[in-house]
């Protein structure tokens, strides 16, 4: 039963970190919302490792709620995928430390391209935060694993920030069930929406 107690501790730690995040939301989050809302192009999300996996989900959530978005792996970016990014786009750059080399390596090219940049990082004083147009920063006490090293709490917080951004944009754009169904006609969710829309 001791291991179950540890698993419960992980859940409680991550839950308390999310609750604390709600108290950290400030004007920079609203700035990011309006930057994306007024974007004439696409939203590109980038990161590596666990941040990259979370970035894929953020891009998918944005796309399904009315904001055109896709994911570009930071390492692939400097090997040609930066060609997917244009001046009218906005790039959301994820790095818990704000010093991830693969992410920072994109900055010189992005500056020349002219795309706006939003950082998601725990370090407001990091190179990434200081190099972007705005930074969505967060704080947490520790990662949830027994070593305090694996991206657990930080990854969960980043995911929640992405969800908040996606839903905030959806509300601002007055995204309705009919719009959601347009992008999500498949599966049981699509079927439920189809039945509701017909009524």
Q: Quote the Cα angle for 55-59-63, to 5°.
A: 170
Of the candidates 172, 158, 140, 133, the one whose C-alpha atom is nearest the C-alpha of residue 55 is: 158
CA dist 158 and 50 (Å) reads 10
Ordered by start, the domain boundaries in the chain are 10-198
Rounded to 10 degrees, what is the CA torsion of 114, 118, 121, 123?
70
Q: pLDDT per position in the chain (199 positions), as tens?
A: 699 999 999 999 999 999 999 999 999 999 999 999 999 999 999 999 999 999 999 999 999 998 999 999 999 999 999 999 999 999 999 999 999 999 999 999 999 999 999 999 999 999 999 999 999 999 999 999 989 999 999 999 999 999 999 999 999 888 777 766 666 677 676 566 556 665 5
Q: What is the pLDDT of residue 154?
A: 97
For the domain made up of 10-198, give the CATH fold. Rossmann fold (3.40.50)
| CA quadruple 43, 70, 93, 181: dihedral, nearest 10 | 70
pLDDT of residue 1: 62
E strand segments, the chain: 43-47, 69-73, 90-94, 116-121, 134-137
What's the whole-model pTM score?
Answer: 0.91
Q: Residues 6 or more apart from 119 whose CB is under 8 A from it?
A: 92, 93, 94, 95, 98, 126, 128, 129, 131, 132, 134, 135, 136, 137
Task: Write down the pLDDT at residue 195.
Answer: 60
pLDDT value for 198: 56
In this structure, what token pair is assigned to residue 192? 């439920």
Predicted local confidence at residue 67, as pLDDT: 93
What is the model's pLDDT at position 15?
96
Residue 106 CA to residue 111 CA, distance in Å, equals: 9
């Amino acid at each position: 039963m001791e291991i179950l107690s540890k698993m419960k501790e992980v859940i409680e730690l991550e839950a308390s970190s999310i609750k604390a995040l709600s108290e950290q939301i400030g004007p920079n989050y609203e700035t990011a919302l309006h930057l994306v809302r007024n974007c004439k192009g696409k939203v590109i999300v980038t990161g590596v490792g666990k941040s990259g996996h979370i970035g894929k989900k953020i891009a998918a959530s944005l796309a399904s709620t009315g904001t055109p978005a896709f994911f570009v792996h930071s390492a692939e970016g400097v090997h040609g995928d930066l060609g997917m990014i244009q001046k009218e786009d906005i790039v959301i750059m994820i790095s818990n430390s704000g010093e991830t080399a693969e992410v920072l390596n994109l900055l010189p090219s992005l500056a020349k391209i002219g795309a706006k940049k939003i950082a998601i990082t725990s370090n407001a004083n990091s190179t990434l935060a200081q190099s972007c147009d705005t930074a969505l920063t967060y704080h947490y006490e520790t990662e949830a694993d027994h070593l305090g090293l694996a991206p657990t709490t930080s990854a969960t917080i980043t995911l929640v920030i992405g969800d908040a951004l996606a839903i905030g944009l959806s509300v601002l754009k007055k995204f309705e069930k009919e719009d959601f169904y347009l992008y999500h006609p498949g599966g049981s969710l699509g079927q439920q929406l189809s039945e509701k829309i017909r009524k």
